[in-house]
Amino acid sequence: MRSTHQGSAGPRFIWLIKTIYLTLAVCLFGLVGCTTTPTYNDTDFEPLFDGKSLRGWELLNPKGGGYGVTNLVENGVTNAVIYCAQGGGGNLLSEKAYADFVLRFDFKLTAGANNGLAIRAPLKGGSLAYEGMELQILDNYGAEKKYNKKLRPNQFHGALYNIQGPSVFDAQRPVGEWNTQEVIAQGRRIIVKVNGRTILNADLNEVTDAKTLIKHPGILRPSGHIGFLGHDDEIFIKNIRIKELTTAQLDNRPPAGFEALFNGRNLAGWQGLLASPNDNPYKRAALASEVRAEAQAKANEEAVAHWKVEDGQLIFDGQGRSLSTAREDFANYELHVDWKIAPKGDSGLYLRGTPQVQIWDPREEENPKGKFGSGGLYNNQAGVSDPLVKADYVTGSWNHFRILMIEGRVHVYLNNQLVVKNTPLENYWDRKKPVLAEGPIELQAHSHPVWFKNIYIREIK
């Protein structure tokens, strides 16, 4: 947690009433916390703490005493623990990245202690609640007293910070006692259990608030590092272990919450893009219906000649024009696309019919324009156009886009690296106007072969 806000702390019994009320409400409406959550035997877990050192971890952006390892003697029993020093902190992150997993650990808080658990986070310092995800580690009541502020629901222990709050507030034991926590991350489902009670059961696909999506590109990340995010307070952690989960993902079979735009068998749902000048959506909309139909028939005939489906792949032969979704009213959405490009190749994705998220051969010796890599907003003029990092795989390999188009802004992940962050997509067709509110998704054709598959969309309304 960063800082708390608004109001003053109430008595402890108020939180019990809140818990009872919210739990009943959740059960009545069949939402979080009352559904069956998965259970796993305590076998096949790998330790993330060797009991002696911080081997396997990396401390980034350290503060004060940072993190350390010590032995605590309690009731005659010695336990090896990782501790965050009072007045210290930083991002203590696993060297290894994880996608789907079950994480278990024990934690003990001091009064008012504030920390966080990073999941699927990039290996970097700074705030990871936004480019990754942070689950709160917090002494709820002590934090309110310490900050003299009332916690927001999405700041309590176990909350997906600033995104979704827990459904249970009293699962923790008193300050100074050990708690056991389990975190299950599988696809877009994030579950938190404390002392055997499910306190969070979040489906990230249900996050539809535009401001939240723009602020938190990290919820798109399929994998990343696990870590503890210290905020000056002393806490203790032990028995950290993890079980990786595997999920088979077949080509052209959409994950939960998504629909396939390409079925892997034919061009159903797609059409040819009209020839210039009617590739311009304003001009296309102005065509008389019979003129539009005739032009579309010609475009479809050409598309069939140059776009084909083989082995579940949508292949462009390097001739002809772009391919467009038959639907032309996509507005806010998350788009997944796998692609590969031929040597010296050049292509891209048009979002709402507006150029473009760039695809090309990133080898500078073959393509000087591609030196910054794919994923940038090539046709932007006033705003950022180049990608933040070069994330392309070797030319001829499959690459993966995750693109979030919200209002007029775009996040782009290429191969799990954030290459465009919260950038306005400019209106290529009329620079004086904002980007169109809706439009088709187009696969750009240049004079180079390109391959696509696994084209999935999750519309956000």
pLDDT digit string, tens, across residues 415-457: 999 999 999 999 999 999 999 999 999 999 999 999 999 999 9
pLDDT-above-90 percentage for the chain = 86
pLDDT of residue 14: 38
Q: Please list, residue by residue across 415-430, b when 16 or more beta carbons sit within 10 angstroms of its beta carbon and e when fewer do.
A: bbbbbbbbbbbbbbbe
Multiple choice CATH, 12-244, 2.60.40.3950, 1.10.3720.10, 2.60.40.1220, 2.60.120.560: 2.60.120.560
The candidate with the shortest Cα–Cα distance to 438, out of 347, 355, 327, 359, is 327
pTM of the model: 0.89
Reduced to 3 states (helix: H, G, I; strand: E, B; else coil), residue 404 is: strand
Q: Backbone dihedral region of 7: left (phi > 0), alpha (psi from -120 to 50 degrees) or beta?
A: left
Residue 29: which pLDDT band, with cuts at 50, 70 and 90?
very low
Mention every residue, 6+ apart, whose C-beta is less than 8 A from residue 420. 357, 375, 376, 377, 384, 387, 388, 410, 411, 412
pLDDT digit string, tens, across residues 167-212: 999 999 999 999 999 999 999 999 999 999 999 999 999 999 999 9
- DSSP3 helix / strand / coil % (the chain, rounded to 5): 15, 40, 45
pLDDT digit string, tens, across residues 417-427: 999 999 999 99
Residue 43: which pLDDT band, with cuts at 50, 70 and 90?
confident
Residue for token pair 């998504």? 258
Q: Please list, residue by residue across 226-251, b when 16 or more beta carbons sit within 10 angstroms of its beta carbon and e when fewer do.
A: bbbbbbebbbbbbbbebbebeeeeee
For residue 373 the two structure tokens come to 């890599």
Reduced to 3 states (helix: H, G, I; strand: E, B; else coil), residue 78 is: strand
Q: Please list, residue by residue across 325-350, b when 16 or more beta carbons sit within 10 angstroms of its beta carbon and e when fewer do.
A: beebebebbbbbbbbbbbeebbbbbb
Phi, psi of 216 (to 5 degrees): -125, 70
Residue for token pair 């760039």? 358
Looking at the chain, which residues constitute the CATH 2.60.120.560 domain(s)? 12-244, 259-459
The answer, yes or no, to whether residue 243 has pLDDT greater than 80, is yes
Which CATH fold topology does 259-459 show?
Jelly Rolls (2.60.120)
Residue 366: which pLDDT band, with cuts at 50, 70 and 90?
confident
pLDDT of residue 160: 98
How many CB atoms are located within 10 Å of the residue 265 CB? 9
